């Protein structure tokens, strides 16, 4: 099988690499440090947060439609330079109360009189009405300024909603209040306004001094103090500016995560021996992950990629992955016989751990690589950085960390203290020392005859308590028939709740969720969502090509579209809400006795330009663009008003309906609204997620099939993977997380992490030396059970600080990773092990397997370097230290030992022999053979 060949080849490669690293550790330490320093300096110095359209799908229609609208000469509705929402602090009316209106007018006065850095005020920069040359202000604000107080405003006129038409002009709907007044209470006639809980004001200026005015606007709004009203403001730069502040705030949390992981790693590596405990190696493991973070981000930035705010979670992810690999390396190191030379022990540890972390690194890289083809730029950027990060982490683990691990081995063999690196005595030789010395210094090995302080190597290499609980208690428990029934019931309940949660899923990333909770941007969008969703933003229905609007066919096509909007449940009746210049102009022609001009090109254009637009049709100046010399109409548009768009799903359906009606023949038009950016995301998110997850799962299947030496185990891994994905989507929905860009990344991480767990336990199970399923599972759990738990805990700890970060994106990351770790650990240590015990070797029966086990043991040979070559090289976690006088249960054969051959053949030397032993063996050799050689002929007498 190809998996076995790959396994053997990788084992040989890592065995030789480990010995090389242990022999010359310096270059493997210095080169990663130098690379990280250079990449960090030249790469990180160019970092700039750029979220422009990164949350917009590539195949989304809103972006090209918006650009087409601007190219046609129109200003998109709802795209204001600066806007604010005013609410009363007591939650009451903001329209007719004198005290509240006075505060609104004071705020307006501060905004219009404040000077920019160049000394200009709003009056010098504002957009002006072509007819009156006055600054364009919100309709309600103009009425407030004219009235001067709330009571006078109520007395002056009856305000109506959503359009206010005091002059009762039949061919003009009047001023639109639908997006200016929120939380409106109407009288019994369903139109007269009694009160309003929110007021939306817009301030637009020319682009020549845009930056200066935005700074002034922000300073005035943020510094405005009132005990009557609250002000939530937004500018065209607010979202980008607020997201740009996140890196400086998240850096503190990264430091806390590093400190937390160092503490956890140190505690996990502590043993009750001052020589064998490895606190500094744990610190190096975290440092290796930090170097991988710096190097990966630096190299991707130097490659020309931008940096999205979503990428700020990558350091936490890579810290968890790096520490996971460290635990696997240390576990393999501990499984090797402590009496081996450092180079040999490093080679064996690398051979065992190298294959495991190679599998997990490949699966993580490929899982993230599957997201590089996602339609969302932010997901692609995240996956590019994550893939590079995992690759660098793997590279630094097998070089930088392995080099320090070999140095730790040298310290242990020299019996040096773990903290001070000073030589100490083992406890057996420190009996005459003080109690403080025995308690705080003594430990390690005895130099007498090269044996360790404890007489039994097995006792000396005793597994940690947690590991013993896993293979001595957990394995027998889950294999009991009664336990399997309980586990099956619990799993069925888990899967049932998960599936139910999947049907409750909510899709789309809201604007307020991309910034910090205390950002003024979030306050603005929260207020908008609360008060301004009944009448949504205007939807542009526009055409960018010249049309003959004076023909009956075109006029009828426009009226047919309006009729279609009237019949839609997602839009208000166009006769009372929509601003349609053509319909109002035709009414104007009929009421002024110029109906003939409706089908006469010259008269149609002349009356439109000279009489309609400058007077009653003044609001349509921005809806019609004329060709050169006013010889025709180059482009035009009209507006429709969405109805009750209170959910993202309804917004998606409204957008789909608007586009469908607009694109109907014979007059093909386009539909655009600022809200369509979110709706495009909702439309794309589900198929994009399914496609990306499908690609990732398929890749994982192929990788596991190639690297796991069992044909059926791959299918079990895939089943468990799908089970976790379903659980993640269902339970994250119940935990308040939408299916959005963050979720896509989390699902990809779920696939990568889950395969890590499953690959560890499955690989250990199918390569175990035992033949009985229970014994194979015990051996596998002993080898990887504790690293799986450690990796889960370390990843959760690495992400834990994000649970307290005041931003939805980061909290969502923690929640999803927490679910992944809990479900992954449960599947990896309970569900999948039960399924694995049902496996039988591909194409082999039990008797054939036992014969193969004996054959593998009998063909193991010794080499001059004291190691066991591939492919018969035994895994360190699967061998037992040689105990003289003890034989194997199979045919009385000597056990496979992790020690070099203490009796090599003639002509070979052995580094384990002391001078006294060599002299003794020479004497024995002379007595038996008469040859002066420090060896004997056979392995066993």
Q: Which two tokens stand for residue 336?
A: 């090797």
Question: CB atoms < 10 A from the CB of 311, how many?
Answer: 26
30 pLDDT above the threshold of 90: yes
Beta pairing, strands 193-203 & 181-186: antiparallel
Answer with the residue of higher pLDDT: 805 or 248: 805
Which residues, at least 6 apart from 105, have a Cβ–Cβ distance to it below 8 Å? 144, 145, 148
**Lowest-pLDDT range, 107-116, 419-428, 538-547?**
419-428
Burial of 144-182, coded b for 16+ CB within 10 Å and e otherwise, reads: beebebbeebbeeeebbbbbbeeeebebbbbbbbbbbbb
Q: What is the pLDDT of residue 742?
A: 82
* Structure confidence at residue 518 as a pLDDT band (50, 70, 90): confident
Name 807's bridge partners: 516
Distance CA(270)–CA(278), nearest Å, equals 6
pLDDT surpassing 90 at residue 137: no
Look at residue 781 and tell me whether its pLDDT is greater than 80: yes
pLDDT in tens, 208-264: 667 788 888 999 999 999 999 999 999 888 888 888 788 788 888 888 888 888 888
pLDDT of 935 over the 50 cut: no
Q: Note the pLDDT of residue 872.
A: 35
pLDDT at position 891 over 70: no
- Residues 6 or more apart whose CB falls under 8 angstroms from that of 329 comprise 285, 349, 350, 353, 357, 397, 401, 402, 405
**What is the pLDDT, as a whole number, of residue 633?**
92
- Residue 394: pLDDT above 70? yes
Give the model's pLDDT for residue 614: 85
Task: Calculate mean pLDDT across residues 880-909.
Answer: 42
- Indicate the DSSP class of residue 925: H
The per-residue pLDDT for 688 is 86
Average pLDDT for 93-114: 91
Q: Residues of the chain with pLDDT > 90: what percent?
A: 22
Q: Which residues are CB-neighbours of 451 under 8 A, at least 6 positions away?
A: 339, 445
pLDDT in tens, 298-351: 999 999 888 888 888 888 888 888 888 888 888 788 778 777 888 888 998 888
* The 3-state secondary structure of 235-259, one letter per residue: ECCHHHHHHHCHHHHHHHHHHHHHH
Most confident of 512-516, 541-545, 870-874: 541-545
* Preceding peptide of 871 cis, ω within 30°: yes
Edge-to-edge order in the sheet of strand 229-235 = 181-186, 193-203, 82-88, 229-235
pLDDT digits (tens, 9 = 90+) for 443-472: 776 655 344 444 344 444 556 777 888 888
Residue with tokens 């996140």: 246
Q: Which two tokens stand for residue 37?
A: 């320093």
Return the pLDDT at 700: 81
Give the model's pLDDT for residue 49.
74
Locate tokens 């609104």: which residue? 104
Q: Do 372 and 387 form a contact (C-beta atoms < 8 A)?
A: yes
Residue 916 has pLDDT above 80, yes or no: no
Task: Show the tokens assigned to 797.
Answer: 């700890």
Find the range with the poorest average confidence among 41-55, 135-149, 598-612, 903-917.
903-917
- At 540, give phi and psi (nearest 5°): -75, 125
pLDDT score of 53 more than 90: no
pLDDT interval class at 669 (50, 70, 90): very high
pLDDT of residue 922: 56
Q: What is the mean pLDDT of residues 639-645?
A: 87
Among candidates 294, 308, 487, 268, which has minimal Cα distance to 400? Answer: 294
Query: Across residues 291-301, what is the average pLDDT?
Result: 93
The answer for residues whose C-beta is within 8 angstroms of residue 567's C-beta and 6 or more apart is none
Task: Give 245: exposed, middle or buried? Use CB within 10 Å, 0-12, 13-18, 19+.
Answer: middle
When comparing pLDDT for 92 and 355, which is higher? 92
pLDDT, mean of residues 31-43: 91
Q: Residue range 855-869: average pLDDT?
A: 39
Confidence class of residue 794 from pLDDT cuts 50, 70 and 90? confident
pLDDT value of residue 500:
94
Average pLDDT score over the chain: 80
Strand partners, 201: 84
pLDDT, residue 172, reads 62
Chain centroid offset of residue 584 CA = 51
pLDDT band at 842 (very low <50, low <70, confident <90, very high): low
702 pLDDT more than 70: yes
Domains contained in the chain, CATH given = 2-45+245-423+463-502+681-836 (1.20.1640.10), 62-67+538-672 (no CATH), 80-235 (no CATH), 902-941 (no CATH)
Sign of the Cα torsion 347, 353, 357, 359 reads positive
Phi, psi of 710 (to 5 degrees): -160, 130
The pLDDT value given to residue 690: 87
> Is the pLDDT confidence value at 677 over 60?
yes
pTM exceeding the 0.85 threshold for the entire prediction: no
């Amino acid at each position: 099988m190809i998996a076995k060949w790959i396994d053997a080849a990788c084992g040989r490669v890592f065995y030789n690499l480990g010995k090389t690293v242990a022999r010359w550790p310096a270059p493997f330490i210095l080169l990663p440090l130098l690379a990280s320093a250079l990449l960090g300096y030249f790469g990180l110095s160019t970092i700039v947060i750029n979220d422009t359209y990164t949350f917009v799908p590539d195949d989304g229609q809103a972006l090209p439609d918006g650009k087409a609208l601007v190219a046609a000469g129109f200003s998109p509705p709802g795209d204001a330079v600066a806007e604010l929402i005013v609410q009363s602090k007591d939650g009451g009316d903001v329209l007719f109360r004198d005290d509240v209106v006075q505060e609104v007018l004071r705020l307006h006065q501060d905004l219009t009189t404040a000077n920019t850095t160049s000394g200009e005020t709003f009056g010098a920069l504002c957009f002006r009405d072509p007819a009156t040359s006055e600054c364009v202000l919100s309709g309600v604000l103009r009425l407030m300024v004219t009235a001067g107080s709330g009571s006078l405003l109520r007395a002056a006129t009856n305000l109506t909603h959503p359009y206010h038409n005091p002059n009762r002009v039949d061919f003009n709907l009047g001023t639109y209040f639908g997006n200016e007044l929120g939380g409106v209470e109407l009288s019994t006639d369903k139109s007269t306004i009694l009160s309003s809980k929110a007021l939306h004001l817009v301030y637009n200026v020319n682009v020549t001094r845009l930056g200066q005015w935005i700074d002034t606007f922000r300073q005035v709004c943020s510094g405005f103090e009132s005990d009557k009203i609250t002000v939530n403001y937004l500018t065209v730069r607010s979202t980008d500016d607020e997201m740009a502040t996140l890196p400086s705030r998240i850096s503190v949390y990264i430091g806390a995560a590093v400190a937390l992981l160092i503490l956890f790693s140190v505690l996990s590596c502590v043993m009750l021996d001052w020589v064998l405990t490895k606190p500094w190696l744990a610190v190096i493991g975290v440092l290796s992950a930090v170097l991988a973070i710096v190097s990966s981000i630096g190299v991707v930035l130097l490659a020309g990629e931008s940096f999205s705010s979503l990428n700020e979670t990558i350091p936490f992810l890579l810290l968890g992955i790096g520490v996971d690999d460290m635990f696997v390396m240390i576990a393999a190191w501990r499984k090797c016989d402590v009496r081996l030379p450092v180079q040999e022990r490093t080679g064996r540890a690398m051979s065992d751990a190298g294959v495991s972390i190679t599998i997990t690194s490949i699966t993580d890289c490929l899982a993230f690589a599957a997201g590089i083809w996602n339609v969302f730029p932010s997901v692609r950027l995240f996956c590019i950085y994550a893939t590079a990060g995992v690759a660098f982490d793997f590279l630094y683990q097998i070089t930088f960390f392995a080099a320090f691990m070999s140095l730790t081995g040298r310290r242990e063999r020299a019996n040096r203290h773990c903290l001070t690196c000073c030589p100490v005595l083992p406890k057996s030789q420190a009996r005459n020392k003080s109690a403080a010395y025995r308690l705080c210094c003594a430990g390690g090995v005895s130099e007498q005859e090269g044996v360790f302080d404890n007489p039994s190597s097995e006792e000396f290499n005793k597994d940690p308590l947690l590991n013993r609980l896993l293979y001595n208690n957990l394995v027998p428990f889950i294999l009991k028939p009664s336990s399997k029934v309980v586990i099956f019931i619990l799993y069925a309940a888990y899967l049932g709740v998960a599936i139910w949660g999947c049907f409750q899923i909510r899709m789309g990333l809201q604007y307020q969720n991309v910034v910090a909770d205390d950002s003024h941007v979030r306050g603005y969008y929260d207020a908008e969502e609360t008060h301004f969703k009944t009448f949504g933003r205007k939807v542009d229905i526009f055409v960018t090509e010249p049309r003959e609007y004076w023909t009956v066919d075109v006029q009828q096509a426009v009226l047919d579209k309006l009729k279609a909007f009237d019949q839609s449940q997602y839009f208000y009746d166009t006769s009372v809400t929509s601003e349609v210049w053509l319909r109002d102009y035709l009414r104007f022609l009929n009421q002024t006795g110029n109906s003939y001009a409706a089908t006469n090109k010259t008269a149609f254009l002349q009356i439109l330009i000279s009489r309609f637009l400058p007077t009653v049709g003044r609001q349509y100046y921005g809806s019609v663009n004329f060709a050169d010399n006013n010889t025709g109409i180059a482009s035009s548009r009209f507006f429709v008003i969405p109805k009750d768009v209170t959910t993202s799903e309804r917004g998606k359906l409204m957008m789909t309906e608007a586009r469908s009606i607009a694109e109907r023949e014979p007059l093909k038009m386009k539909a655009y609204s600022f809200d369509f950016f979110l709706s495009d995301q909702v439309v794309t998110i589900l198929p994009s997620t399914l496609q990306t997850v499908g690609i990732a799962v398929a890749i994982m299947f192929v990788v596991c099939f190639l690297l796991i030496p069992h044909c059926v185990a791959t299918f079990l891994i895939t089943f468990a993977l799908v089970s976790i994905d379903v659980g993640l989507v269902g339970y994250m929905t119940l935990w308040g997380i939408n299916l959005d860009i963050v979720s896509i990344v989390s699902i990809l991480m779920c696939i990568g992490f889950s395969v890590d767990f499953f690959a560890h336990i499955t690989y250990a199970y199918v390569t175990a030396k035992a033949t009985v399923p229970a014994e194979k599972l015990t051996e596998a759990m002993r080898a990887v059970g504790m690293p799986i738990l450690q990796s889960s805990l370390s990843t959760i700890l690495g992400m834990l600080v994000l649970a307290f970060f005041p931003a939805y994106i980061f909290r969502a990351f923690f929640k999803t990773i927490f679910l992944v770790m809990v479900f992954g650990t449960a599947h990896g240590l309970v569900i999948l092990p039960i399924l694995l015990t049902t496996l039988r070797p591909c194409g082999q029966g039990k008797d054939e397997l036992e014969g193969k086990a004996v054959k593998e043991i009998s063909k193991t040979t010794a080499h001059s370097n004291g190691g066991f070559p591939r492919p018969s090289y035994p895994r360190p976690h699967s061998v037992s230290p040689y105990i003289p006088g003890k034989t194997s249960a199979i045919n009385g054969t000597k056990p496979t030992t992790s020690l070099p051959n203490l009796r090599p053949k003639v002509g070979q030397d052995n580094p384990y022999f002391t001078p006294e032993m060599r002299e003794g063996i020479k004497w024995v050799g002379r007595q038996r053979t008469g040859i002066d050689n420090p060896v004997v002929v056979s392995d066993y007498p």
